[in-house]
Every structure is written in structure tokens, then in C-alpha cells.
């Protein structure tokens, strides 16, 4: 009887997570209505609260429901720590490429000024611990300077990622440009914090990402001592 009850609970959780993802895709808004979510999942209004506790917890579950990240990332264990950081970012973006409608809607909501709940779902302590471990490993391996505050560096990488997402959301870059844009920004920040050994590695990565980054289009600004001209 207990096993049957737990199985039914797990099935309802799964339905609610799927309904949440579908609603975000359909509405373009991660600010879920619990009433709409319950209706979409075919459960009572109380059920999402009973199983998750809050809307933020539902969003966290939707993001954690991504299958295979840990297993796929484990395959990069032989790489040096700085390359593991770049590969982790690349792997994260690959999910965006696989489901752009969902992630564009999610980031549209996250970037709104009032979206503290949505931001808290994606930038959470578990996620921070993952990135801090990668950065601390790079320090231990002598690839990042020992006096670099890795918590501050992590936030700087976050700002880079959010900036790229903003440009994607407002259609200033295409989906295919996210990978090289994030990679270039990360490699540039890591090179600035790196030891000489790490700098050489990141310079190679910078050149590779630079070749793939979208070029500026339109008029080029040429600066002169007496002002600016366009060509």
C-alpha cells in the first residue's frame, strides 16, 4: 500500500513538472500561476503546494528535471579544471539549444526586475556550490591565482552569462551564437585571474572562440581626436 501511495505521489509530481514546463513554453512566462498549473496537470489546486510547497520549488524541480547533466559532465573528468569550467558552460547551453522556446521564456522572466523568485530558482546554492568547486579545483591545480576570490570570480562569470542571455532574449544574437559568446566571455575572465600556465591555456581557447563569435555589422565607429566618424 505504501509503495502504491509513493508511486502515485511521484506520478503527480512528474505531471506537475511537465505541466509547468509546457505552460512556460506556451505562455512565455516563468511566473507560473499555481491555479493554471494545477489545471494543466489535472490535479487539485492544493496538490502543487502539498508536493512542492511553493512556486519557486516547482521552478527548481523543473530545472533539476533536466536529465543527464551530471552523467554527461562526469565524462570531462580527465580535462584540466579550466577546461572543465568551459565544458560545463558549453553543456549548459546545449540544453538551451535543444529547447530554445522554454529557455527563452524562462530567461525573459528571469531578466524582469520583479523576478526575484525566478532568479532564485536558477541561481540557487546547489548550483553555486557546483561552480565554486570547479573554480577552487583550478586554484588547487595552480591554474588560477591563489589570492583570487573565487566567489567574486563566479559572480563575474554569472554576469557574463546573464549579459549573453539578455542579448539573446532581445534578439541581438542568434541561438547559434550563444556558445561562442559565453565561451569567449568565460575564457577572457578566467585568463585575467589565471597563473601564467592558465593564461596560456585560456589564450588558446580565446582564439578558438573568437573565430566563432559573430562579427559586428553595420557602420563602424572610427575614433579621432576631434570626434567620431562612421565608415
Q: Is residue 218 part of a domain?
A: no
Residue 221 lies in a domain: no
pLDDT of residue 55: 83
Residue 225 located in a structural domain: no
Q: Quick one: pLDDT at residue 106?
A: 85
Does 173 lie in the same domain as 108? yes
pLDDT at 7: 86
Among residues 47, 64, 81, which one ends one of the domains?
A: 64
| 189 inside domain | yes
Q: Of 98, 99, 122, nearest to 110 (Cα)? A: 122
Whether residues 55 and 73 fall in one domain: no
User: Which residues of the chain are under the pLDDT cut of 70?
Assistant: 1, 65-67, 113-115, 117-118, 216-231
CATH code of the domain in which 32 resides? 1.10.10
Domain interval for residue 56: 2-64
| Residue 67 pLDDT | 64
Which domain CATH number covers 129? Answer: 1.10.357
The CA-based dihedral angle spanning residues 109, 111, 116, 118, taken in that order and rounded to the nearest 10 degrees? 40
Per-residue model confidence (pLDDT) at position 218: 46
pLDDT at residue 174, rounded to an integer? 94
Q: Which residue, of 19, 39, 64, is where some domain finishes?
A: 64
Residue 227, in any domain of the structure: no
**Domain limit, last residue, from 64, 89, 114:** 64
Q: Residues 78, 56: one domain?
A: no
Q: How many domains does the chain have?
A: 2
**Residue 230: predicted pLDDT:** 40
pLDDT at residue 66, rounded to an integer: 67
Query: Do 26 and 84 reside in the same domain of the chain?
Result: no
Beta carbons of 109 and 25 less than 8 angstroms apart: no
Is residue 29 located within the same domain as residue 88?
no
Q: Is residue 230 part of a domain?
A: no
Residue 21 sits in the same domain as residue 106: no
Amino acid at each position: 500500500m505504501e509503495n502504491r501511495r509513493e508511486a502515485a505521489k511521484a506520478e503527480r509530481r512528474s505531471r506537475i513538472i511537465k505541466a509547468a514546463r509546457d505552460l512556460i513554453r506556451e505562455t512565455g512566462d516563468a511566473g507560473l500561476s499555481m491555479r493554471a498549473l494545477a489545471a494543466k496537470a489535472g490535479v487539485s489546486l492544493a496538490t502543487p503546494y502539498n508536493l512542492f510547497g511553493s512556486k519557486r520549488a516547482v521552478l527548481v524541480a523543473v530545472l533539476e528535471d533536466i536529465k543527464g547533466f551530471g552523467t554527461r559532465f562526469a565524462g570531462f573528468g580527465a580535462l584540466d579544471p579550466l577546461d572543465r569550467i568551459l565544458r560545463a558552460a558549453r553543456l549548459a547551453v546545449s540544453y538551451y539549444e535543444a529547447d530554445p522556446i522554454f529557455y527563452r521564456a524562462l530567461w525573459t522572466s528571469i531578466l524582469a526586475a520583479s523576478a526575484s523568485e525566478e532568479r532564485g530558482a536558477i541561481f540557487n546554492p546547489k548550483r553555486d556550490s557546483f561552480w565554486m568547486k570547479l573554480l577552487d579545483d583550478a586554484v588547487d591545480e595552480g591554474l588560477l591565482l591563489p589570492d583570487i576570490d573565487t566567489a567574486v570570480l563566479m559572480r563575474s562569470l554569472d554576469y557574463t552569462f546573464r549579459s549573453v542571455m539578455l542579448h539573446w532574449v532581445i534578439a541581438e544574437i542568434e541561438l547559434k551564437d550563444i556558445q561562442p559568446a559565453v565561451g569567449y566571455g568565460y575564457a577572457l575572465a578566467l585568463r585575467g585571474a589565471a597563473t601564467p600556465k592558465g593564461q596560456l591555456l585560456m589564450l588558446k581557447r580565446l582564439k578558438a572562440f573568437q573565430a566563432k563569435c559573430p562579427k559586428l555589422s553595420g557602420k563602424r565607429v572610427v575614433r579621432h581626436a576631434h570626434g567620431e566618424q562612421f565608415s
